[in-house]
A and B are shown apart, each in its own frame.
Chain A
Amino acid sequence: MATQKELNISPVGRVEGDLDVKVYMEDGVVTRAHTQAAMFRGFEKIMQGKDPQAGLIVTPRICGICGGSHLYCASSALDTAWKTTLPPNALLLRAIGQATETIQSIPRWFYAIFATDMANKKFANKPLYDEVVKRFAAYVGTSFQQGVSASGRPVEVYALFGGQWPHSSYMVPGGVMCAPTLKDITRAHAIMNQFRKDWLESLWLGCSIERYMQIKTWDDLMAWVEENDSQRNSDLGLFIRASLEFGLHKFGQGVGKFIAYGTYLHKDHYQKPTVEGRNAALISRSGFFDGKKYHVFDHLSIKEHVGHAWYADVPAAHPWDEPMPTPLQSHTLADSNFNEKYSWSKAPRYMDMAAEAGPLARVLMNANPDNLLPHQVFDPLFGDVIEKLGTNVFTRTLARVHEAARLYTQIDEWLRQVDLNDEFYIKPEERDGKGFGATEAARGALAHWIEIEDGVIKNYQVMAPTTWNVGPNDDRGNPGPIEAALEGTEIEDPHDPVEVGMVARSFDSCLVCTVHAHDGKSGKEMAKFKL
């Protein structure tokens, strides 16, 4: 007789909007899962009828983690709609903003969110456990503090150009609103150098960036780990060894299909921004990988399904064609009927398929040998890693941390390419029309779609990477990436389902920073503090 169990995993007493998970288990293994999320939708309502540039002010406020990514999209969407001309400096400074935001997220997420789970008692009987706890335990881990502290540095560079981080509005259609001096560029180099010395090379890699960048295959990576004590005992070396020992490569598979919009538009290849010219102008490439082959990315192949989302039913549609959504009554996890509607997140599909967005999707696109242009990244490592190990919690996490070394070298190179005597902004002419702006936020594919009519916004759609990952079943009953990734996961202790947390956290979902209110229930007795 199989033992069947249902588990509701839901952060108690929080604001609407965290990720709640319902898993169905049989003999300790997850057979099916549903993710319930309150995603940030309803932007359409705020933006309708407003000045076309409202997105530059409003969308960076969506998020305190990836406001720069939203700004990148908002300015790009207007560039394509208004047919602006972009000076090379503007493309460089936008790329630097995006890259500094992404690189800061790597140590911050790894130490504060992901690695603390590796110190869970579940792994206490493993040989490397003591070392993992010593380094990665929340607060007290030796690397935890250094890593979290170092993560504050790259966005100081963003603030040099953007004025502040998060929530800056320095990217505008036609360029950027800043005119850095040599002092700013020198200061930016110094800050990044500090980041390299304090964390990236010393603590994280245990070797030079150049040495790490020579790795091209899974075997190269394993040889790198064992090459010397410094690499073996670096945080990355320990993470790789412990992951394999703890079995993090054995669960959290997902849908096996990947989407990336690509990012970092090259300074010399996107001075006339168009939707059609975008793929060729990217440095980090876009694409859709169906598990076997690569497809050229076309945003028109994206549709959103609402069959299982709390909106009135409409046929699946592309964001430019989506009607104003009609919200319906939502339910708690316990009261939801999963055959009907059960999430605030819509279900995006590419050519009718669910796809995972995120760093793993990005590094896979960079392993694509086809259609490669001289200014684009080619890095075969993850093509090989996925072939040998497949998709799982370990490879997904490895992809994210793998990006740090390359991002560092790119930021360094872009800072050197800024021509202080050239312009940073070319005033555009406003016009009606449609625009599409996209980037790769730290967590994956992010896009804004805009339609301008009679000089005001008619339709504005924001689709976050987490919508791809955390979305519910589509209209045909196919699960979203996290729902699929939970299937087959063995749960050792239903009272502490750390495995579910690890799968969900490996996607690093973005869910609630749109609402920031403090929760009175989580504080102590508040009545006595009334003024």
Chain B
Amino acid sequence: MKKTAIMGFGNPVRSDDGVGCYVIDQLRESLGEQPGVNLFDMGTSAFEVLFQLRGHERILIVDAVINTGETPGTLYKLPAHEVEAAIQDDPMVFLHSLKWDQALSYARKILLNDYPDDIQVYLIAVDNLKLEVNLSDVVKDAGDRVVALMREDILRTV
């Protein structure tokens, strides 16, 4: 089986933005320690992707997504190259506003042959980013769906 990293992004103090971290928490409980699988609560870091990618052949990412025009809780799964973003496209990017999609394009340039080409991204549509520490029910359900899908995926390949 390919050595796998599962990374959840988001901010648990911004309501539904925290769903990525929730998925990692749930996986920790339901999967436990699996050989060849590392779970990362990435929080709001972005650059760290570059350093955590190393040594893995397969990456699963989960994050919230806004501006999709769909109802909250809508679930997407797509290969990372669909969302990779070049930093030059944004003249006003700061260290804080860097996101993992931009960090991935850095990583591809920096890791070259070590860049894992198997990166799948789960995105959950959200629109409530208020300063609160709870997930809404629809987003939590979508998070649970991602947990189930990832769990199935891992247990099938182990």
Q: Are A138 and B87 in contact (CB under 8 A)?
A: yes
Q: Which of A138, A510, A514 contacts B94 (CB 8 A)?
A: A510
Instruction: Tell me if B13 is interfacial: C-beta within 8 Å of chain A.
Output: yes
Smallest beta-carbon distance B149→chain A, Å: 8
- Known contacts: A43-B131, A515-B14. The answer to whether A15 contacts B66 by CB under 8 A is yes
- Known contacts: A64-B44, A529-B77. The answer to whether A518 contacts B65 by CB under 8 A is yes
Instruction: Tell me if B83 is interfacial: C-beta within 8 Å of chain A.
Output: yes
Instruction: Tell me if A183 is interfacial: C-beta within 8 Å of chain B.
Output: no
Q: Are A167 and B131 in contact (CB under 8 A)?
A: no
In the assembled complex, the Cα of A108 lies from the Cα of B98 at a distance in Å of 12
Q: Which of B12, B51, B65 contacts A152 (CB 8 A)?
A: B51
Q: Are B74 and A530 in contact (CB under 8 A)?
A: yes
Q: Are B83 and A518 in contact (CB under 8 A)?
A: yes
In the assembled complex, the Cα of A109 lies from the Cα of B87 at a distance in Å of 13
Which of the four size classes fits the interface of chain B?
A: 35 or more
Instruction: Tell me if B50 is interfacial: C-beta within 8 Å of chain A.
Output: yes
Instruction: Tell me if B97 is interfacial: C-beta within 8 Å of chain A.
Output: yes
Instruction: Tell me if B64 is interfacial: C-beta within 8 Å of chain A.
Output: yes
- Known contacts: A15-B66, A149-B110, A520-B69. The answer to whether A61 contacts B96 by CB under 8 A is no
Q: Are A45 and B91 in contact (CB under 8 A)?
A: no
- Known contacts: A501-B91, A512-B97. The answer to whether A531 contacts B75 by CB under 8 A is yes
In the assembled complex, the Cα of A42 lies from the Cα of B125 at a distance in Å of 24
Q: Are A524 and B92 in contact (CB under 8 A)?
A: no
In the assembled complex, the Cα of A465 lies from the Cα of B72 at a distance in Å of 34
Instruction: Tell me if B45 is interfacial: C-beta within 8 Å of chain A.
Output: yes
A42 contact set on B, CB distance < 8 A: 131
Q: Would you list which residues of chain B between 1 and 55 have a CB under 8 Å from chain A?
A: 9-14, 17, 20, 41-48, 50-51
Q: Are A515 and B17 in contact (CB under 8 A)?
A: yes
User: Chain A 19-61, CB within 8 Å of chain B: the 1/0 string?
Assistant: 1000000000000000000000011011000000000001001
A496 contact set on B, CB distance < 8 A: 91
Chain B residue nearest in CB terms to A145:
B110
In the assembled complex, the Cα of A387 lies from the Cα of B66 at a distance in Å of 48
Smallest beta-carbon distance A507→chain B, Å: 9
Chain B residue nearest in CB terms to A20:
B92
B74 contact set on A, CB distance < 8 A: 530
- Known contacts: A61-B44, A65-B95, A148-B110. The answer to whether A516 contacts B17 by CB under 8 A is yes
Q: Are B44 and A509 in contact (CB under 8 A)?
A: no
Smallest beta-carbon distance A311→chain B, Å: 14
Q: Which of B87, B93, B99 contacts A518 (CB 8 A)?
A: B99
- Among A113, A512, A516, find the residue whose CB has the most chain B CB atoms closer than 10 A: A516
Instruction: Tell me if B135 is interfacial: C-beta within 8 Å of chain A.
Output: no
User: Chain B 107-137, CB within 8 Å of chain A: the 1/0 string?
Assistant: 0011000000000000101100101110000
Q: Are A531 and B131 in contact (CB under 8 A)?
A: no
Instruction: Tell me if A1 is interfacial: C-beta within 8 Å of chain B.
Output: no
In the assembled complex, the Cα of A112 lies from the Cα of B106 at a distance in Å of 9
Instruction: Tell me if B153 is interfacial: C-beta within 8 Å of chain A.
Output: no
B129 contact set on A, CB distance < 8 A: 15, 515, 517
A67 contact set on B, CB distance < 8 A: 43
Q: Are A46 and B44 in contact (CB under 8 A)?
A: no
Q: Are A518 and B64 in contact (CB under 8 A)?
A: yes
Q: Are A516 and B11 in contact (CB under 8 A)?
A: yes
Q: Which of B43, B90, B132 contacts A64 (CB 8 A)?
A: B43
In the assembled complex, the Cα of A45 lies from the Cα of B91 at a distance in Å of 34
A516 contact set on B, CB distance < 8 A: 9-11, 14, 17, 20, 43-44, 46, 63-64, 99
In the assembled complex, the Cα of A522 lies from the Cα of B43 at a distance in Å of 21
Q: Are A514 and B11 in contact (CB under 8 A)?
A: yes
In the assembled complex, the Cα of A518 lies from the Cα of B20 at a distance in Å of 11
Q: Are B88 and A166 in contact (CB under 8 A)?
A: no
Chain B residue nearest in CB terms to A58:
B13
Instruction: Tell me if B67 is interfacial: C-beta within 8 Å of chain A.
Output: yes
Smallest beta-carbon distance A513→chain B, Å: 4
A140 contact set on B, CB distance < 8 A: 109
- Known contacts: A145-B109, A515-B17. The answer to whether A523 contacts B75 by CB under 8 A is no
Instruction: Tell me if B85 is interfacial: C-beta within 8 Å of chain A.
Output: yes
Smallest beta-carbon distance A379→chain B, Å: 25
Chain A residue nearest in CB terms to B123:
A518
In the assembled complex, the Cα of A530 lies from the Cα of B70 at a distance in Å of 10
A530 contact set on B, CB distance < 8 A: 70, 74-76
Instruction: Tell me if A9 is interfacial: C-beta within 8 Å of chain B.
Output: yes
- Among A105, A504, A519, find the residue whose CB has the most chain B CB atoms closer than 10 A: A519
9 A/B residue pairs, CB under 8 Å, sorted by A = A11-B97, A61-B43, A148-B110, A505-B94, A512-B94, A513-B97, A516-B9, A516-B10, A531-B145
Which residues of A are interface residues toward B (Cβ below 8 A)? 9-11, 13-15, 18-19, 42-43, 45-46, 58, 61-65, 67, 105, 108-109, 112-113, 116, 138-140, 145, 148-149, 151-152, 164-167, 496, 498, 501, 504-505, 508-524, 526, 529-531
Which residues of B are interface residues toward A (Cβ below 8 A)? 9-14, 17, 20, 41-48, 50-51, 63-70, 74-78, 82-83, 85, 87-88, 90-101, 105-106, 109-110, 123, 125-126, 129, 131-133, 145, 149
